[in-house]
Chain A
């Protein structure tokens, strides 16, 4: 509110950073005002939802002082957008890509002057080329060589054979601890950090689950009808990964059935922050070992997140038709109440699926069927997100950050569902004969490692 007031006082020259009503854009606040001007880390008294009058006045002054620089930022942004159009660049969100660069340009050069056009062109091109050759094409070229393929196949065979084949121990204790962590996560007061999380990581409970998958354990989740892998593979046991040389977003297999190529394809497809990834040869080299590690992940905290996610997913009730079980945790209640809210919105938007199996099936029944086995979609998305973190060496350092990922995946699964219902209904209304429902979920998956 203070930001809004100070912003409007700076006048009309901030148009390209403002919304149609004159307020700063959400991204202006998030990418420029907060991190570059307000800097709550330096001013802890700004980091609250409601400011007292004195800090409010200081905040107001701080923003007004930056007025000239903001005006220059706005002009640079307009220029960069125009340049982007002229160069035909459409990838990415211009505000995400350019806002901070514009603020830097404004600091260095003030308002755009002579020569600004060339500078803008250089920035737009630089941002567009920032991937440094970490592309699907580069991966394809790297794996196209037959000798390379043979070498990698050999390495995979050795790594797969060399898996520690200790018999799977009892997972019951690990699952019970997972319940404790989830109970601490989903409460009304927000996530509390649970010490059980770190002890799970130290005890290697995620690895334990990975080995249980290799040993074809059942009964891990306390429900005899559910396999230990919860759909992470379509087979009884995860197969030895192959190298592969192609992938199609529409037909990606279950995560642990994917080839090396397919696993890295998903990582490289996401456009954001590709420059932070290892180079393609490095990516491939590490993926050999990773794909033969328990759950296809190196980092133990990420494997524990798979265990937590599994325990969460088996208690999800997207259709709102099950009795809450005694082992359901605060996390289950939080996610299931979000599904209830979603169901109510979908009813108001006339986008329902029948909660009970329909005797006549119907095209929408496949979607309802997926909601009856929500763990498959959940685990698939979760794994992709965790894999993206593993590739980027980004472990989950505490229960709160693990919960942020688990919760984010739960939301994505819900978004996928709505997208699929929408697209199924559109297909029905647009065309004559009922056709297969497009797999929006799979298409959306490419976005996963981006949000990792």
Chain B
């Protein structure tokens, strides 16, 4: 059962919480988190699989899973910290199957929110419904992490099934079209069976679920599988091609142009292309007037809106000056506003950030290096997902191995 052993530090805080500290943690978008019974688990997505950090606010509830995630030594140490016998101790933790499952579930939730899909970078988006159904299966497999207290939003099998059941039929087709000896087929079957099983406990019902139930009860059709392109089953957004937007203003003299900051934290997923170069601006002089145009490349699946939704925050020479509302035109969010520059100002230092009002938690220090690291991580994962995996490997049994949504996305890669 035990694969490896690492040491973790268990400490007691002044407020009675007990912490199991793993490695250090970077910006928000590099953390995978999971709300479980009595605690929050955290993994750094940029590092190799490790036991999670835990902030345990209810030790009694957490004891139902602590030993199964970290091994008995950590469970005992946490108990000792909770009762005050110890306040700070280092103990070896096991890498258990439940720790692997939890890490995978945490990563799946992370991917649903932060996957840096980008047309400019050639990183395909993950199909949200395929990912959602795999999260159903993983949540079901990690049931031991959750209890009945109704305060664990990640124990959300019912909502996930409700939101993503449109992918059930395509997943069934994909499964039937995949040679049964492959890992992908096994993974598909495992996900579908777990969804069926999980649906029982959640008052979920519907045509797609009944078809799933029926299909799983039948023997697999033994005709030779017809090759099916998984991508074609899920495509929702056709014909994304980066059309250069119409120029907003004709005329004027360009006095400066540059790139802005694309801070993923300041707007929700699915709005802006995740590339570092997605935000750009042009400053123009029209007589004595100074204007700025901002263009932001839209996310592959961004909503088409009639009105402005995002805004660009414009800073001049270190002062946050104004906001420019951005409206969607073709594949670009764009807008223009007056710039308060003295006529003599020839080399203004202009900073542009894009944000969704009401969502924006505020600007934070530069995170460019971490964003690059995330892009490199998903490129590696997609490259792995594109490789057909040899049969009879245990890859899918543990926490490693690509998600089905990654396999589907990686197969679609040629389009980018």
Residue positions of A touching B, CB distance < 8 A? 1, 4, 19-21, 23, 25-27, 29-30, 49-50, 81, 85, 90-95, 187-189, 333-334, 337-338, 341, 344-345, 347-355, 358-365, 367-368, 411-412, 414-415, 418-419, 425-426, 428-434, 451
Asked whether B79 lies within 8 Å of A354 as measured between CB atoms, the reply is no
* Stretch of B31-39, B238-246, B404-412 at the chain-chain interface: B31-39
Q: Give the interface size bracket for B toward A.
A: 35 or more
Q: In the complex, A277 Cα to B240 Cα: how many Å?
A: 58
User: Nearest residue in B to A19 (C-beta to C-beta)?
Assistant: B143
**B309 contacts A418, CB within 8 Å?**
no
Q: Taking CB as reference atom, which chain B residue is nearest A356?
A: B362
B86-94, B263-271, B388-396: which one contacts chain A? Answer: B263-271
Q: Is B223 an interface residue (CB 8 A)?
A: no
Complex CA–CA separation, A212 to B384 (angstroms): 68
Checking A30, A85, A347, A358 against B358 with a beta-carbon cut-off of 8 angstroms, the contacting residue is A358
CB <8 Å contact, A352 and B141: no
Contact A354:B360 (CB < 8 A) given known A27-B148, A345-B40 = yes
Other A-B pairs beyond A345-B33, A347-B361, 17, CB < 8 Å: A1-B75, A20-B143, A20-B194, A20-B197, A25-B143, A333-B15, A344-B33, A350-B268, A350-B269, A351-B268, A352-B265, A360-B311, A364-B359, A414-B151, A415-B153, A425-B359, A432-B304
Whether B147 is near chain A, meaning CB under 8 Å from some CB there, is yes
Question: Is there a chain A Cβ closer than 8 Å to B67's Cβ?
Answer: yes
Residues of B within 8 A of A429 (CB): 268-271, 303
Contact A434 B361 (CB under 8 A): no
Contact assessment for A432 and B205 in the assembled complex, using a CB-CB cutoff below 8 Å: no
* Set of chain A residues within 8 Å of B35, measured between Cβ atoms: 345
B35 to chain A, nearest CB (A): 6
Check B303 against A412 for contact (C-beta < 8 Å).
no
CA distance A19 to B325 in the complex (A): 51
B258 at the A interface (CB under 8 A): no
Question: How would residues 133 to 170 of chain B score, 1 for a CB under 8 Å from any chain A CB and 0 otherwise?
Answer: 00000001101101111110100000000010000000
Query: How far does the alpha carbon of A354 sit from the alpha carbon of B271 in the complex, in Å?
Result: 17
- Indicate if the CB atoms of B150 and A412 lie closer than 8 Å: yes
In the complex, how many angstroms separate the beta carbon of A226 from the nearest chain B beta carbon?
Answer: 25
In Å, the complex CA distance between A332 and B21 comes to 26
Considering only CB atoms, which chain A residue lies closest to B201 in the complex?
A93
Q: Given A93-B203, A341-B57, A431-B303, is A350 in contact with B309 using a C-beta cutoff of 8 Å?
A: no
Closest partner residue, chain A, to B101 (CB atom)? A21
- CB of A92 within 8 A of CB of B270, answer no
Q: How far is the CA of A91 from the CA of B97 in the complex (A)?
A: 33
Residues A94 and B268 in contact, CB atoms below 8 Å apart? no
User: Are B28 and A350 within 8 A (Cβ)?
Assistant: yes
Q: How far is the CA of A95 from the CA of B97 in the complex (A)?
A: 25
20 contacts between A and B (CB under 8 A): A1-B75, A20-B140, A26-B64, A30-B147, A90-B203, A94-B201, A333-B15, A344-B40, A347-B265, A348-B110, A350-B113, A351-B113, A359-B357, A362-B358, A412-B150, A415-B150, A428-B309, A429-B270, A431-B303, A432-B305
Q: Which residues of A contact B203 (CB under 8 A)?
A: 90-93
Given A49-B60, A349-B33, check contact A451 B311 (CB 8 Å): no
* In the complex, B401 has a CB within 8 A of chain A: no
Most A CB contacts (10 A, CB to CB) among B57, B203, B204, B213 go to: B203
Residue B76 at the A interface, CB < 8 A? yes
> Cβ of A348 and Cβ of B305 under 8 Å apart?
no
Residues of A within 8 A of B281 (CB): none
Contacts of A93 in B (CB 8 A): 201-203
Task: Judge whether B32 and A354 touch: CB under 8 Å.
Answer: no
A58 to B148, CA, bound (A): 27
- Whether A188 pairs with B15 at a CB distance below 8 angstroms is yes
| Distance between Cα atoms of A347 and B42 in the complex (Å) | 13
Bound Cα distance A290, B55 (Å): 43
A residues less than 8 Å from B303 (CB atoms) = 428-432
A388 to B162, CA, bound (A): 29
Residues of B within 8 A of A50 (CB): 76, 79
Separation of A49 and B60 alpha carbons in the complex (Å): 8
Residues of B within 8 A of A (CB): 14-17, 28-29, 31-33, 35, 40, 42, 55, 57, 60, 63-64, 67-68, 72, 75-76, 79, 97-98, 109-110, 113-114, 140-141, 143-144, 146-151, 153, 163, 194, 197, 200-205, 213, 264-265, 268-271, 303-307, 309, 311, 323, 325, 356-362
How far in angstroms is the closest Cβ of chain A from B379? 21
On chain A, the residues within 8 Å of B60 by CB distance are 49
Chain A neighbourhood of B140, CB < 8 A: 20
Most buried by B among A1, A50, A189, A428: A428
Residues of A within 8 A of B28 (CB): 347-348, 350
Chain A residues, CB < 8 A from B304: 432
When distances are taken between beta carbons in the complex, the residues of chain A under 8 Å from B29 are 348, 350
Per the bound structure, the CA–CA distance linking A349 and B42 in Å amounts to: 12
Nearest CB in chain B to that of A84: its residue: B200
When the two chains form their complex, are residues A451 and B150 in contact, meaning their CB atoms are under 8 A apart?
A: yes
CB-based nearest B residue for A365: B358
A94 CA to B146 CA, complexed, in Å: 17
Say whether B323 contacts A360, CB under 8 Å.
Answer: yes
CB atoms of A23 and B68 under 8 A apart: yes
Q: Verify A349–B143 contact, CB threshold 8 A.
A: no
Best-buried of B60, B98, B153, B205 by chain A (most CB within 10 Å): B153
Please judge, given known A-B contacts A362-B356, A431-B303, whether A415 and B151 are in contact too, CB under 8 Å. yes
Measured CA separation A93–B202 after assembly (Å): 6
Closest A-B pairs by Cβ, 10 of them? A362-B358, A188-B16, A364-B358, A362-B357, A360-B357, A365-B358, A350-B113, A411-B151, A352-B361, A348-B31
In the bound complex, residues from chain A placing their C-beta under 8 Å from that of B325 are: 360
Cα distance A358–B265 when bound, in Å?
16
* Contact A21 B15, beta carbon cutoff 8 Å: no
Assess whether B147 is in contact with A90, with CB atoms less than 8 Å apart: no
Give the chain B neighbours of A358 by CB distance below 8 A.
357-358, 360
- In Å, the complex CA distance between A27 and B149 comes to 12
Instruction: Give the residues in chain B near A361, CB-CB below 8 Å.
Output: 357-358
Expressed in whole angstroms, the Cα–Cα distance for A70 and B3 within the complex equals: 32
> Which residues on B sit within 8 Å (CB–CB) of A188?
14-16
Residue of B nearest to A349 (CB): B113
**Chain B residues whose C-beta falls within 8 Å of the C-beta of A341 in the assembled complex:** 40, 55, 57
The closest CB in chain A to the CB of B72 belongs to A1
Q: Chain A contacts of B323 at CB under 8 A?
A: 359-360
Complex Cα spacing A357 to B163, Å: 31
Chain B residue at minimum C-beta to C-beta distance from A50 = B79
Neighbouring B residues of A362 by C-beta, 8 Å: 356-359
Known: A20-B140, A365-B357. Contact between A433 and B305, CB under 8 A?
A: yes
- A425 surroundings in chain B (CB, below 8 A): 268, 359
